[in-house]
Structure 1
Amino acid sequence: MPRSLRVVAPAALIAVTLAALVMGLSIGGAAAERTLLDPGAVVRYGMPVARTLVNLAMAGLIGSIVMTVWALASEQAEARIAMDLAAGSAAVLTVASAATLIFTYVDVSGQPFSGDSAFGAGLAQFVTEIELGQLWLIELLLAAVTTVLAFAVRERRLTLIVLVAAMASTLPLAQQGHAAGASGHAQAVNSLLVHLIGAAVWLGGLLTLVFLARVVDRSRLAVITARYSTLALFAFVGVAASGVVSAWLRIGSIDALFGTGYGQLVVWKTAALVALGIFGAVQRTRLIPRIADSVRGGRIFAWFVTAELAVMGIASGVAGALGRTATPVALEPVRDQGEGISPAEWLTGDPLPPELTPMSYLTGWKFDLAWSLVCVFGVGLYLAAVLRLARRGDRWPVGRTIAWCLGIALLFYTTNGPFNLYEQYLFSVHMLGHMMLTMLIPLTLVLGAPITLALRAVEKRTDGSWGGREWILWMVQTPFSKVVTHPAVAAIVFAGSLWVFYFTPIFRWAMEEHLGHQWMIVHFLIAGYLFSLSMIGIDPVPYRFPYPLRLVTLFATMASHAFFGVTIMTGSSLMLADWFGAMGRTWGATPLEDQSTGGGIAWGIGELPTLALALIVAVQWSRSDSKEQKRKDRAEDRSGDAELRAYNEMLASQSQRDQRAQSRGR
């Protein structure tokens, strides 16, 4: 392996990135001097440079940690080098975030940089009172915390904490962008979040390979590269899909694609993405086998990776320029559009949808890219595991596959269909979606037994790294898992979450904030899944109640749900009155009537999945008794009814003793 690879490859990435950035700023017009409140050339160029460094550093941070968690042996030098790269990237991210924060303040305030107290006071006000400044301050703090963790943590399982912190640092960035506060903000945030994480794993993973190439032999490098290639494939799908969504939201027409500077930059970035897709295909089909088999494999790898990083530099530089270029479609925050907006737009950022009708449950859609990809990957990975078992000669029940696919289909419908479209405006639709997320969808997913399938289909690793099988086995055996999967705890969380969520400020947070809404979906999915798993699951858990106690638990949760539904249905005050009661709807039931309908849904429709759970438990109980009886019958057949003979002999012996005792008594 060429000794200069560690220097040449990152240098090529940075040089091409900066060149593409400068070119993109020129094409998009962001480098031109402004007619009003021009911040100066230093800010016009310095801010996008600092922002691009944030992206590159985040890629190095996330990509190297993901590789450590997924592809590398924790006890070897390869993992140490990857974590060193993560720590260095986190430090660069912290510095670049601080620089971007200052550049952003100078840019939006029009105040020249200085060291006097007035500048400091203005900067303090910017980071405490203005949303953009608050986001950059949060980004800076998260980067600093991640830096400390990356330097301090080296144990395999604790590395997950560093990964979570690194992923969290993408959230403030995803809430910025051109579409912040504009109509379609939720879709834009999720799309940008997918784009940031996908690009980070893709670019950062490749950088990790560059730094590992000198410490591993060619056969080991081939194995690690193959694992990276799988990650890169998923990243490519996410980046491509999110790029299409983002471009569509900002361009709006084919004419703008070629007739505006923003559109031209999108074309350049698309070309770079296509080229990177070709690089990925060549890497999987041609490069990986040659690394280990060819004497020149190391040199071929070095040239290939350097060229791929250069193309990634083009995409990164153009992306940095796009962030500073005016979009063809004006994405002005809704609340800045004056008096023409409706109350619904003021509250939610989106216009009020048309009247809800029965047909709306088929025609009403509001797509969410992040959850769409979760569903696509969920079905794809499950079917791939089933096919692997089939090729190996093993069978997997068709019913479980159907149950899993049905659950994923319901999840897609709930997160992308009419529930997602209307739940912010109608409490009844929100409650119906809630029942889907916490009861029906988890029930079908649990019947799919994904953990059992994964443990059977995923190969065991023997090189000291942890793959899917090893992480799953660790996950189900942790003390935390033993607590949350205990039937009593799962039942309390399942039933208690309703009361805690709807009668605390968490409900308002989930309605008003994008992050709160996503937390709501994840929480209720997990709570429902753990409860269903503890009741009817096939996947392994440390403990399950006996069948009679399971039925008692189910009826107790049904009673709790019924009491909750009646409480909502008979309530005389409107929940979140300044939200559901202020939408300005002129169609449908009144907010209080709609809330009563939502309570009826929680009481009536919401009990149906729980009743289905009870029926499944009863069937499993019956089958368990049948299996136990068959087991005893087989044991008796093998032993020739030895237990029955021994029992009869014991009775005969007892009878003889009684007879002798009676004889002595006479």
Structure 2
Amino acid sequence: MVTAALVLPTGSSAHGGDPGALWPSGPAWASDPRVLAPLSVSAVLFLVGTVRLWGRAGHGRGVRRWQVACFWSGWTVLALALLSPLHGWGERLFTAYMVEHELLMVIAAPLLVLARPGSAMLWALPASWRPRVGGVVRLPVLGPAWRSMRTPFSATLLHGVALWAWHMPGLYDLVLVNALAHWLQHLSFLLSALLFWWALLHGPVRSRGYGASFLYLFLTSLHTGLLGVLLTVSPRLWYPRQVAAAAEWGLTPLEDQQLAGLVMWVPAGLVYAAAALTLAGIWIRRSGPDTARQAHAA
């Protein structure tokens, strides 16, 4: 029932009896160049770089096959979230909007981080460019900032600030009427999520066995779950403009808000929990007997 509500407008459309009247030519795919350009460039760089690297080192070397699978899976999820009809539905249905955001932050972002596509993309560039492009984060201007942001605490804090700030009613209402603000919201969600997952999976804590990563994943699941709970149980509408068209899907505005809150609370929480348990298992397995017993006790 919920899935049907997400996908198919009902006959109670505010624009008439024909659900198809919502889109004269059917749900459209987005064509925003601010989205198409980086998606296209990243796909070409990764494809060309992988082919070149495997041509030099051998198939499956330098970039593992599972990394390639992670990249293209994450890239596909990202493209579907930002370009498919889901994006258009999200402008008229809060629940679809929330699904789009969760796809960005808890599915696409960790898959792309697991892929570690930077090495393959560097191989797509001319050989003389690779050292300079690869060393950008070590420049005096960027180095200190990158070292401070890549810590789990900083990355978790930035990701949390981005999430809560954009859900403040005033800023959220701006997103609904301003295309640039909408684009900036998606960009900050994606970049902060990439930083968050990178800090937990590849950052300094990796050498210490992922114990800290488990903690920060748990904290993130708490505060994102709290936001989802507040949306679900609130008796008043947070963003009346966002849920104004809910009747087109046979929902009341409050039901649309409640479903959106459930999407943030339950499915996203399950992803964070699964990731936390996986990292906890790696932490315990890599630890010595004493540390393993302490981890089990904790």
Relative to the length of structure 2, the TM-score reads 0.78
Structure 2 match to 1:423: 90
Q: Check whether the contact 1:407–1:442 (CA below 8 A) recurs between aligned residues.
A: yes
Q: 1:397 aligns with which of 60, 64, 72?
A: 64
Structure 1 match to 2:229: 566
Structure 2 match to 1:491: 156
Structure 1 match to 2:31: 368
Change (3 A) 1:586 1:379: closer
Structure 2 match to 1:589: 251
Quote how far apart the aligned CAs of 1:585 are: 3.8
**Residue type at the aligned position of 1:366:** W
**Residue type at the aligned position of 1:405:** W
Structure 1 match to 2:132: 470
**Does 2:28 correspond to 1:384?**
no
Q: Check whether the contact 1:494–1:527 (CA below 8 A) recurs between aligned residues.
A: yes
Q: 1:411 aligns with which of 47, 69, 78?
A: 78
Q: 1:535 aligns with which of 200, 204, 210?
A: 200
Equivalent-residue separation in structure 1 for 2:270 and 2:110 (angstroms): 11
Aligned length: 261
The answer for unaligned runs of 5 or more in structure 1 is 1-341, 345-350, 355-362, 462-466, 627-666
Structure 2 match to 1:433: 100
Structure 2 match to 1:500: 165
Equivalent-residue separation in structure 2 for 1:623 and 1:353 (angstroms): 53
TM alignment of 1:71-90, pairs within 5 A: none
Structure 1 match to 2:179: 514
Equivalent-residue separation in structure 1 for 2:69 and 2:168 (angstroms): 37
**Residue type at the aligned position of 1:565:** G
Equivalent-residue separation in structure 2 for 1:500 and 1:444 (angstroms): 25
Change (3 A) 1:488 1:620: same
**Residue type at the aligned position of 2:223:** S
**Residue type at the aligned position of 1:621:** W
Equivalent-residue separation in structure 2 for 1:434 and 1:612 (angstroms): 19
The answer for unaligned runs of 5 or more in structure 2 is 1-12, 16-20, 289-298
Change (3 A) 1:385 1:414: same
Determine helix, strand or coil for the equivalent of 2:266: helix
Larger Rg: 1
Equivalent-residue separation in structure 1 for 2:166 and 2:254 (angstroms): 19
Structure 2 match to 1:544: 205
Q: Any idea what the Cα deviations from partners look like across 1:637-656, whole Å, max 9, x if unmatched?
A: xxxxxxxxxxxxxxxxxxxx
Equivalent-residue separation in structure 2 for 1:608 and 1:364 (angstroms): 30
Quote how far apart the aligned CAs of 1:460 are: 4.9
Q: Check whether the contact 1:442–1:528 (CA below 8 A) recurs between aligned residues.
A: yes
TM alignment of 1:181-200, pairs within 5 A: none
Quote how far apart the aligned CAs of 1:500 are: 1.4
TM alignment of 1:41-190, pairs within 5 A: none
TM alignment of 1:336-375, pairs within 5 A: 352-353=22-23, 364-370=27-33, 371-375=35-39
Structure 1 match to 2:260: 598
Relative to the length of structure 1, the TM-score reads 0.37
Quote how far apart the aligned CAs of 1:524 are: 0.5
Q: Any idea what the Cα deviations from partners look like across 1:275-296, whole Å, max 9, x if unmatched?
A: xxxxxxxxxxxxxxxxxxxxxx
**Does 2:250 correspond to 1:575?**
no
**Does 2:110 correspond to 1:448?**
no
Determine helix, strand or coil for the equivalent of 2:205: coil
Determine helix, strand or coil for the equivalent of 2:215: helix
Identify which of structures 1 and 2 has the higher relative contact order when contacts are C-alpha pairs closer than 8 Å and 6+ apart: 2
Quote how far apart the aligned CAs of 1:469 are: 3.9
Change (3 A) 1:591 1:454: same
Q: Check whether the contact 2:52–2:123 (CA below 8 A) recurs between aligned residues.
A: no
Q: Check whether the contact 1:458–1:469 (CA below 8 A) recurs between aligned residues.
A: no
**Does 2:217 correspond to 1:554?**
yes
Runs of 4+ in 1 over 4 A off after TM superposition: 455-460, 622-626
**Does 2:274 correspond to 1:612?**
yes
TM alignment of 1:280-319, pairs within 5 A: none
Change (3 A) 1:392 1:504: same
Quote how far apart the aligned CAs of 1:385 are: 0.8
Equivalent-residue separation in structure 1 for 2:127 and 2:177 (angstroms): 45
**Residue type at the aligned position of 2:162:** S
Equivalent-residue separation in structure 2 for 1:536 and 1:364 (angstroms): 37
Q: Check whether the contact 1:367–1:417 (CA below 8 A) recurs between aligned residues.
A: yes
CA root-mean-square deviation: 2.7
Q: Any idea what the Cα deviations from partners look like across 1:475-531, whole Å, max 9, x if unmatched?
A: 256222122222101111222322211124221121111101111111111011001
